[in-house]
Amino acid sequence: MKTTAKNEALKILAKKDISSKSLKEKLLKKGFSVEEIDEVIENLVKKKIVNDEKIKERLTEVYLDKGKGYFYVKYHLSQEGLSEDFELPIDEEANCALKVIKQKKMKKADLKDSKKKIKMMLFLSRRGFRQEAILKAMALFSGNAQ
């Protein structure tokens, strides 16, 4: 018995919520026609089975919880085809960076040592944080650290 594009899509979605772009790529690999795939995805979006906005919100939350910054999140969302209109307030990103600083067990005195301060700033930068968020987090840490 030959499976339909809709059945295959539902089988894929039963395992994991994925974006419409990723679903389309997987169905193309299975050999379904572009027209058939577009019709199935449009139908699934109408029924709210595929919801790119919810997936974008969930992935953003997951990446922020993992201590990742704006650039990291935006890159990974673009890999899923979800990066249009992505915004992350600087305050939210700075709070995330502040959590990372605290997790690294940095001491307030370490901020006075320029080598350690630069090392932490580079670490945050590699995790995808914007410079403005890094500076704000460092300022919050030096003001709030005990």
Give pLDDT tens digits for 8-48. 888 988 998 888 899 999 999 989 889 999 999 999 999 98
| Total-model pTM | 0.80
Model confidence pLDDT, tens digit, residues 58-109: 999 999 999 999 999 999 999 888 877 888 899 999 999 999 988 887 766 6
Four-CA torsion 64, 69, 75, 79, nearest 10 degrees = -10
Q: How many CB atoms lie within 10 A of CB 40?
A: 22
* Mean pLDDT along residues 114-118: 85
% helix, strand, coil for the chain, step of 5: 70, 0, 30
Longest dimension (CA), the chain: 70
